[in-house]
Structure 1
Amino acid sequence: MDVTVIDTPQLGDRSYLIHDGQVGLVIDAQRDIDRVETLLDQAGVQLTHVAETHIHNDYITGGLILAQKHGAAYLVNAADDVSFERTLIADGQTVQVGELSVKAVATPGHTHHHLSFVVEHGEEQAVFSGGSVLYGSVGRTDLLGPEHTEGLTHDQWASARRLAAEAKEQAALYPTHGFGSFCSSGPATGANESTLGEQFEVNHVYTDDDEEHFVTELIANLSAYPNYYVHMGPANAAGPTEPNLEVPDSLDAAQLKARLEAGEWVVDLRNRVAYSSSHLKGTISFEYGNGGSFTTFLGWVFPYDRQLTLVGSREDVENAIRDLSRIGIDNPDAALGEDPEKLAPGATVSSYPRVGWSEVLTDRPDQETILDVRRTEEYETSHIAGAVHIPLHELITRMDEVPAGRLWVHCGSGYRSGVAASLLERAGKDPVHIDAMFDEAADAGLPMDS
């Protein structure tokens, strides 16, 4: 059995190509399927099956279009209510993929109809657990609504034990989530590989023998997840199309200026240092290439009913189009270039201060607000004394709560505070971007509360 990991670090997820050297199966494909097709060509493998562990809530699947393009069977739980044709599969059913035996195991918890797949090739065995058992944790159980959360959390505890009964301890474990995805509900270990047996020793779903305690603790520690998740399940149930990954023709200066004047969503992809020093007023700073921050936080705050325009280098725009297609933000417009003066002559070019913690201590008058835009659980763990707290993902809807006067904005690393500073300026506020690690604030002399 050959297992190829298809990593999508921008979302913290993994897809898998599993084959016997001749024919293969793909599990939980991302929407940009050209990556999968390249691997199929390199391996010289025919794709005969595509499978979903569940109807995904954190990305748009490429499974349907991949199966259609290759004439492969598309394995989706028979209990899932979807609008497309698929090959029905249910708990306990086994499918032969060349020399591979693929068994579906019902593991509800992350969703009601979640499946894991136990794949065997001779004596070799692997478990593809989707959003069930992750490395050190399990998939979160609150994505289908609060009325389902407690029941699904009990299901998740039981499903982990079902997997333990269905597979060998030495079976390699391949989850879809848990590599930074907000679909993880607990303290993922950061491991890149594991076995089912290793999880018996390190994963709280196995080490906690008290089901009620596990359920209570998991629910108590669930935190906010991106707003764009609400769009993913319905899109996946409807049957996503193949994305258009082409870079569109660049807007001219007049078109770009008109969009800025109309208050449209124009996102500047340059790094936050360049943005703070010079940018077209009305743009929003989402630095491209900062791990998973770009896709996650743009998707978290972007209103899906609006047209998006990307501003930046051709390379950054091209990469951003691919990343955003994975969360259903399709066909953005683009203005190619990195010089604000040349992109829209006559438009207002602006800037705002960018500082570190030392400047906060020496240059900030006592009456000026420190605004913390981290998530609630981060703030509750530790925060600067007297800071006003509005999470980035709530900032647009709570702009009327932002204090008057100059605002010294920080987050955990400087990325989210850069986004927040641009949103504040766009709303007519006066921001100072604190581009520094929060963990260094106390050592720099900032007074802290917890």
Structure 2
Amino acid sequence: MIEIVPIDTPSLGDRSYVAHDGQVALVVDPQRDIDRVLAVTEAAGVRVTHVFETHIHNDYVTGGLALAQATGAAYHMNADDPVAFDRVPVRDGDEVAVGDRMRVRVIATPGHTFTHLSYALSDGDEAVGVFTGGSLLFGTTGRPDLLGPDHTHDLAHHQYASAHRLAGELPDAARVLPTHGFGSFCSATQASADRSTIGLEKVENPVLTRGEEEWVADLLEGLDVWPAYYAHMGPANSAGPGAPDLSSPEPADAATLRRRIEAGEWVVDLRNRVAFAAGHVPGTFNAGLDGQFATYLGWLIPWGTPLTLLGNTADEVAEAQRELVRIGIDRLEGAATGTPQEWTDGALASYPRATFADLRDVRHHREVVILDTRRRLEWEESHIDGAVHIPLHDLLKREADWPAGELWVHCAGGYRASIASSMLAAAGRTVVHVDDQFSNAQGAGLPVVS
């Protein structure tokens, strides 16, 4: 029997796969930190012989080339992908034998990109699943706009056709095995399940239940922004990224941290938002490891800005470093561990946290400014009447638009607002972090406009 092992990367919303027959293994869309893949294959006692890439990824740096080099595996990519390294070129209709039992059929599924491929996996003559990358996802599809507005409309129609091709050529029992859709901004909308089959998607996925023009129109209307760091992923993946360096960064003492903050470098505190608000080094930013750390840090930091990390433990710093190399931030200026008191030779800064009920109450006593840091589509769906809207990803670019006064900062659940609050506080603004679910705002008595 073929075993398929998913390897999740929750902070990026992605999933890689190892499939093996007990002796040899194939890997699909591996992340940069290939030691996780090697741990799976070592535990199973199997040898990696083939690596498959569904497309040139936009949301992470691939580990495919490094994995192939480390294991001697054949590295399969679309023959039309313009890459700067040797690989095994494949095209629509090709079949690849992996060991004695596994067979992989290459299926062209343009839509997420023009050269996107899916890989149908068979155990002998029985189709057991299809690795769909950014094509057919659970209840949705990959987004078609990452190559720019000139191509979006055409790619949306390609995406529709590709989904219908998969549904038409594969049996209902075949598992759908996507790379995106679990929080990745490469997904048009977020996945509606954790596992699925072709048969289930035929019933539940709008791309397979609605007409083409209606589906395309709704898809395009629902697209929102994607992280700025995506612009660097395609070039990195086309150039052929090597294995990451995960060695420990240089330690930084309090004086060094102060100099780096004063020089305009980024010093990022990895602790959770409750701890950061209670006491932190002035001038530092908060991006906790308990959220989509790499996505938002990569989105916000000017590319190439020197970065130093602060964490409770060396393990926290190592976890953050691992997440950052997945998006191509390979070099850290340094790191410090311990407590905030050890990271500064001066006084700590802090700011209060509150709920939407607290916001309701304070508005009876004094004038405050509500700053909504959610994305455009979230704002358009509903927002607090009178709030100022500056999405988190625009905050630093729109400093001139920061409203005067005491800022009560919120998002949908607290994580993005914690990042925004830390940046505003570092700039000397008076902030209150509304650490609450936006769904509680109307129930708290705030005027919500839908």
The interval holding the TM-score normalised by the smaller chain is: over 0.9
Instruction: Judge conservation of contact 1:335–1:343 (CA < 8 Å) in 2.
Output: no
SS in 2 for 1:342: helix
Instruction: Judge conservation of contact 1:256–1:335 (CA < 8 Å) in 2.
Output: no
- Amino acid of the residue matched to residue 293 of structure 2? F
- In 2: Cα distance, 1:353 partner to 1:111 partner: 45
Q: Give the corresponding residue for 2:324.
A: 324
2:170 is aligned, of 167, 170, 186, to 167
Q: What does 1:359-398 align with in structure 2 at a 5 Å threshold? A: 359-364=358-363, 365-398=365-398
Instruction: Judge conservation of contact 1:355–1:435 (CA < 8 Å) in 2.
Output: yes
- In 1: Cα distance, 2:267 partner to 2:404 partner: 25
Q: Give the corresponding residue for 1:81.
A: 82
Instruction: Judge conservation of contact 2:109–2:118 (CA < 8 Å) in 1.
Output: yes
Q: Give the corresponding residue for 2:303.
A: 304
Q: Give the corresponding residue for 2:132.
A: 129
Q: Which string of whole-angstrom CA distances, capped at 9 and with x for unpartnered residues, describes residues 67-95 of structure 1?
A: 01111110010000011110111110001
Q: Give the corresponding residue for 1:235.
A: 236
- Shift, 1:214, TM fit: 1.4
Q: Give the corresponding residue for 1:114.
A: 116
Instruction: Judge conservation of contact 1:125–1:171 (CA < 8 Å) in 2.
Output: yes
SS in 1 for 2:150: helix
Q: Give the corresponding residue for 1:13.
A: 14
- Shift, 1:124, TM fit: 4.4
SS in 2 for 1:75: strand
Q: Give the corresponding residue for 2:152.
A: 149
Name the Cα RMSD after superposition. Answer: 1.2
More moved, 430-439 vs 359-368? 359-368
- In 2: Cα distance, 1:357 partner to 1:119 partner: 50
Q: Give the corresponding residue for 1:195.
A: 197
Instruction: Judge conservation of contact 1:317–1:334 (CA < 8 Å) in 2.
Output: no
Instruction: Judge conservation of contact 1:263–1:282 (CA < 8 Å) in 2.
Output: no
Q: Which string of whole-angstrom CA distances, capped at 9 and with x for unpartnered residues, describes residues 245-303 of structure 1?
A: 1222311222111111212100011111111121111100111123xx21211111111
Do residues 355 (structure 1) and 358 (structure 2) align? no
- Amino acid of the residue matched to residue 380 of structure 2? E
State the TM-score, normalizing by the size of structure 1: 0.97
Alignment coverage as a number of residue pairs: 445
- Shift, 1:187, TM fit: 5.2
SS in 2 for 1:443: coil
**Structure 2: which 5+ runs fail to align?**
none
Q: Give the corresponding residue for 1:345.
A: 345
Instruction: Judge conservation of contact 2:183–2:190 (CA < 8 Å) in 1.
Output: no
Q: Give the corresponding residue for 1:4.
A: 5
Q: Give the corresponding residue for 2:284.
A: 283
Instruction: Judge conservation of contact 2:78–2:90 (CA < 8 Å) in 1.
Output: yes
- Shift, 1:349, TM fit: 2.1
Do residues 140 (structure 1) and 139 (structure 2) align? no
- In 2: Cα distance, 1:329 partner to 1:354 partner: 31
- In 1: Cα distance, 2:177 partner to 2:271 partner: 35
Q: Give the corresponding residue for 2:333.
A: 333
Q: Give the corresponding residue for 2:434.
A: 434
Q: Give the corresponding residue for 1:261.
A: 262
Q: Which string of whole-angstrom CA distances, capped at 9 and with x for unpartnered residues, describes residues 75-116 of structure 1?
A: 010000011110111110001101211110000000000000
State the TM-score, normalizing by the size of structure 2: 0.97
- In 1: Cα distance, 2:377 partner to 2:168 partner: 35
Instruction: Judge conservation of contact 1:25–1:48 (CA < 8 Å) in 2.
Output: yes
- In 2: Cα distance, 1:356 partner to 1:247 partner: 38
Identity score, percent: 52
SS in 1 for 2:441: helix
With over 3 angstroms needed to count, the CA separation of the structure-2 counterparts of 1:147 and 1:298, relative to structure 1, is same
Q: Give the corresponding residue for 1:225.
A: 226
- In 2: Cα distance, 1:370 partner to 1:301 partner: 21
Instruction: Judge conservation of contact 2:127–2:170 (CA < 8 Å) in 1.
Output: no
- In 1: Cα distance, 2:21 partner to 2:340 partner: 53
- Shift, 1:344, TM fit: 2.1
